[in-house]
Structure 1
Amino acid sequence: MDHDLAAPDGPGGVRERIEVVYGELSPLERTVADFVLEHLSELATYSGAELAQEAGASKATVSRFFRRLGFPSFAQARAQARAQASALRARGVPLGGLPPQAGNAVAAHLAQDQRNLAALARDVEHVRLERAAQLLAGARRVLLLGWRNSYPVALHLREQLLQARAAVDVGPHPGQTVAEELTGLERRDALVVVAFRRRPPAVGRVLAAAREAEVPTVLLTDPTGRALGAQVEHCFTVPVDGPGAFDGYAAAMSLVTMLAEAVLARRGRAGRERIEQVGRVHARLGELE
């Protein structure tokens, strides 16, 4: 976890306030302070009584401690922590998580995946999907770019597209920059940028460079990247919310499958022949069971 982002850090946050007054705290207050510092990302989930019990202090000590920090009450400190955690989680920062007492974690994850898939179904129109597929099926070359958690999604789309057509690349490769990949792309080619939240600033610059070079571009992103869609011809917004600390990519992988299926259908006989050719080479090399 990025410690500089962990709620409720930052200006006026609990960590900062503790650091200012730590030397002035009583031994019991320091016990509470140490516990809070070790459980900052979970602070919003505690009641005052629960925090006192877990920290091994009285409710009065907890109340006095937060007043020393400048909060009228623990409730206000918790509200600030909850608001900061919510804002950071919306950006994809892995905070909190599902506590052991949350119940059936599997059910929670599946329920959220279903909500994400339902939202994707409402957003992805058949016509838009077909237009993007037509671009990817007919382009001279397809380049897919993805960073961080977006890279596996881009890689998976590349492996699916390779079944239907040749000349599909993915980047950036480890230890390499993007400029070499973008150089030479033109309007006969296609660029797919996978940019889910916590993406690097390079994404916007890549989209701008592709637009300047008149390279048709498909963007796969989440709602926080919707503004980037103004720079591309085809934009698909995919929810990646998870019930706990981490994002879920079930909807993203489903979109990849739909897009690859549509490309294969567009390729027609050429796509079927390539699948057969790939199958024969697999058999010759003995790569698959």
Structure 2
Amino acid sequence: MTLSERILEAYDDLTRKERHLADLLLKDLDMLVLKSATDISAQAHVSKATTARFFRRLGYPSFKTAQRAVRSGEKVDSGRELSSGAVRRKGGRGELAEHLANDVQNLVRSIESLKSDELNQAIQCLAGADKIWVIGFGDSYPLAHFARALLIRIKTDIRMIPIGGFSVPEEFASIKPTDAVIALGVGRKTRSLRLIMRSAMRAGAQVVYITDQASRGGPDVAVVTLRCRMRGISFYESVVAPVSLITYLCSALALKIGQAAFDRLQFIQEIHDDWGDLVSGDL
């Protein structure tokens, strides 16, 4: 189990101050290798005693033990493993209630960890962009489709990568410094995502990165990184938090854009009415 997996597994049982430390390490695990316990404690605004207790909760006798484990190349994450009871679960109302409780916790913990200034910065980046690019590969591809479906209703020029049958570099060549990017990196990440994000930053575009709590992010790939808790209790990770965050960002963006967004929504509805393609009531 990696350090980030240990942190996420124990997160619900951590105290408020221990969560400050957990959030700091999840953003940049390299600091555990590069900094002392005193430096990390100061940066997280917690005492050294809190830091020592935090690492004991994770199963390490001391900070130094955790530091040595990471320096020696503690197990690298290659994708989420099944929980110990996943194969034994058979389904039913009890399991459904547990599933619901887990998703509620994912939402609550995600909202608690998101900072209002970072959310506002993300919304401002998107509102001021000439074009918005939505990027998602693999597990993130359905979320990218969902984000684009919401954005195209309120803003005119929404691009998506990848598009089936089209080369990514040819599409990406249209990016401008006046553009913004929503990059989705949940579940298993691809090298292509990080390469595109870095290229977008070099092109001067504003990149908003939506990812899980274990992802490092970094200023070389995004101006804002928004992390969601995606803990699953069976075979799959939960995507409730990223879906909710995407919905919130798009709703807040519509309000930020103002009348132009509402006019576009109204025009789209008038087209549907004119074409008669929507069925009222039940099918």
TM-score range normalised by the length of the shorter chain: 0.5 to 0.7
Matches within 5 A, 1:56-205: 91-93=79-81, 97=86, 99-100=88-89, 104-205=94-195
Rounded Cα–Cα distance in structure 2 between residues aligned with 1:122 and 1:90: 27
Cα distance, 1:140 vs. partner?
0.7
- Residue equivalent to 2:197: 207
Rounded Cα–Cα distance in structure 2 between residues aligned with 1:177 and 1:195: 20
* Structure 2 gaps, min length 5: 1-74
Cα distance, 1:184 vs. partner?
2.1
- Residue equivalent to 2:64: none
Letter in 2 for 1:151: Y
Match of 1:244 among 222, 230, 234: 234
Cα distance, 1:90 vs. partner?
8.1
Indicate the SS of the match to 2:183.
Answer: strand
Matches within 5 A, 1:254-273: 254-273=244-263
Letter in 2 for 1:91: G
Letter in 2 for 1:138: G
State whether residues 112 and 243 of structure 1, in contact with CA within 8 Å, keep that contact through their aligned partners in structure 2: yes
State whether residues 226 and 237 of structure 1, in contact with CA within 8 Å, keep that contact through their aligned partners in structure 2: no
Cα offsets for 1:179-221 (capped at 9, x unmatched): 1222121210111110112111112211211121111111011
Letter in 1 for 2:129: A
The percent identity for this pair of structures is: 24
**Cα root mean square deviation, aligned:** 2.2
Structure 1 runs of 4+ aligned residues shifted over 4 Å read 87-90, 93-96
Rounded Cα–Cα distance in structure 1 between residues aligned with 2:111 and 2:97: 21
TM-score where L is the length of structure 2: 0.66
Cα distance, 1:89 vs. partner?
8.2
State whether residues 197 and 225 of structure 1, in contact with CA within 8 Å, keep that contact through their aligned partners in structure 2: no
* Structure 1 gaps, min length 5: 1-86
Larger proportion of helix: 1
Q: 1:230 to 1:114 in 2, by over 3 A?
A: farther
The structure number with the bigger radius of gyration is: 1
Q: 1:168 to 1:101 in 2, by over 3 A?
A: closer
Rounded Cα–Cα distance in structure 2 between residues aligned with 1:109 and 1:133: 31
- Residue equivalent to 1:4: none
Q: 1:283 to 1:165 in 2, by over 3 A?
A: same
Indicate the SS of the match to 1:256.
Answer: helix
TM-score where L is the length of structure 1: 0.65
